[in-house]
Chains A and B, each alone.
Chain A
Amino acid sequence: MSQQIGILAMFKHLDTVCHAVEKVKGRTDFKDHEVYSPTSYHEIEHACAFSPSPVRWFTFVGAMTGTVTGFALALLCDWDWPVVVGGKMPGIFSLPAYVVLGFEFTILFGAIATVAGVLVMCRMPNPKVKILDKRLTDDMFGIWVPGAVVDGPQAKLLKEAGAVEIKATR
Chain B
Amino acid sequence: MSEIKWEKTISDVNNEILVNLERPHKMYYVALAISVACVLLFVTMVGYHTVVGLGVWTGFAPPTYWLVDITNFVFWVGIGHAGTLISAILFLFRAQWRNTVNRSAEAMTIFAVICAAVFPLIHMGRMYLGAYWALPLPNTNNLWVNFRSPLFWDVCAISTYFTTSLLFWYIGLVPDLASIRDRVSGFKKVVYGLLSFGWRGTARQWHHYETGYGFLAALATPLVLSVHSIVSWDFAMSIQPGWHTTIFPPYFVAGAILSGCAMVYTLLVPIRWMFGLEKFIRADHLEACIKLTLLTSTIVFYAYGIEFFVAWYSGNPYEWAIFQKRAAGPYAFYFWTMVACNCIFPLIWWSKKMRYNMVISYVVCVLINVGMWFERYNIIISSLIEDFLPGSWGHAEPGLWEIGLTIGSFGLFNMFFLLFCKFFPIVSLSEIKLIMPKPLSGHGKGGH
Contact = CB atoms under 8 A, between A and B. Distances in A.
A9 B360 CA distance: 51
Contacts of A38: 10, 179, 201, 430, 433
Interface string B191-212: 0011001111111111111111
B368 interface: no
A82 to B, nearest CB: 9
Contacts of A104: 153, 156-157, 159-160, 226
Given A131-B182, A136-B201, A40 B210 contact: yes
Given A48-B203, A127-B198, A98 B147 contact: yes
B332 interface: no
A167 to B, nearest CB: 16
Interface of B: 9-11, 13-15, 142-149, 153, 156-157, 159-160, 163-164, 167-168, 171, 174-175, 178-179, 181-183, 193-194, 197-212, 215-216, 219-220, 222-223, 226, 230, 430-431, 433-434, 438-441, 444
Given A41-B438, A104-B160, A105-B156, 8 more contacts: A13-B439, A40-B430, A44-B203, A53-B212, A90-B147, A108-B164, A112-B163, A126-B197
Contact of A127 (B159, B193, B211, B222): B193
Contacts of B220: 107, 111
A56 B211 contact: yes
Interface of chain B: mostly helix, strand, loop or mixed: helix
A129 B431 CA distance: 23
Contact of A139 (B11, B146, B219, B440): B11
Nearest to B434: A39
A35 interface: yes
B216 A115 contact: yes
Contacts of A134: 182-183
A105 B223 CA distance: 11
Contact of A15 (B199, B219, B440): B440
A14 B160 contact: no
A119 B213 CA distance: 12
A138 B182 contact: yes
A114 B216 contact: yes
Contact of B202 (A13, A34, A77): A34
A15 B443 CA distance: 11
A107 B84 CA distance: 14
A118 B208 CA distance: 6
B156 A100 contact: yes
Contact of A14 (B167, B174, B230, B438): B438
A58 B9 CA distance: 36
A53 B193 contact: no
A158 interface: no
Contacts of A35: 202-204
Contacts of A139: 9-11, 13-14, 433, 439
Contacts of A103: 222, 226
Contacts of B219: 59, 63, 107, 110-111, 114
23 contacts: A38-B201, A41-B438, A48-B203, A59-B215, A81-B142, A83-B145, A101-B153, A104-B160, A105-B156, A105-B160, A111-B164, A114-B216, A114-B219, A118-B171, A122-B204, A122-B208, A126-B197, A128-B198, A132-B200, A138-B14, A138-B15, A139-B10, A139-B14
Residue of A78, A100, A121, A131 ringed by the most chain B CB atoms within 10 A: A100
A127 B198 CA distance: 6
A124 B438 contact: no
Contacts of A131: 181-182, 200
Interface in A24-54: 34-41, 44-45, 48, 50, 52-53
A121 B183 CA distance: 26
B147 A94 contact: yes
A89 B208 CA distance: 46
Contact of B164 (A15, A59, A107): A107
> What are the 5 closest A-B residue pairs judged by CB atoms, nearest first?
A126-B198, A129-B198, A118-B212, A53-B211, A35-B203
A160 to B, nearest CB: 14
A9 to B, nearest CB: 14
A127 to B, nearest CB: 6
A12 interface: yes
A74 interface: yes
Contacts of A39: 10, 175, 206, 430-431, 433-434
Contacts of B210: 40, 45, 53
Given A37-B201, A94-B148, A48 B207 contact: yes
Given A38-B201, A112-B163, A53 B182 contact: no
A1 to B, nearest CB: 10
Contact of A55 (B145, B159, B215): B215
A101 to B, nearest CB: 6
A152 interface: no
Interface in A62-79: 63, 73-74, 77-78
- Residue among A98, A112, A138 with max Cβ neighbours from chain B (10 Å): A138
Contact of A114 (B157, B215, B222, B223): B215
A111 B163 contact: yes
B163 A137 contact: no
A6 interface: no
A127 B189 CA distance: 12
A118 B250 CA distance: 34
Contacts of B222: 103, 107
A41 B226 CA distance: 33
A122 B160 contact: no
A147 interface: no
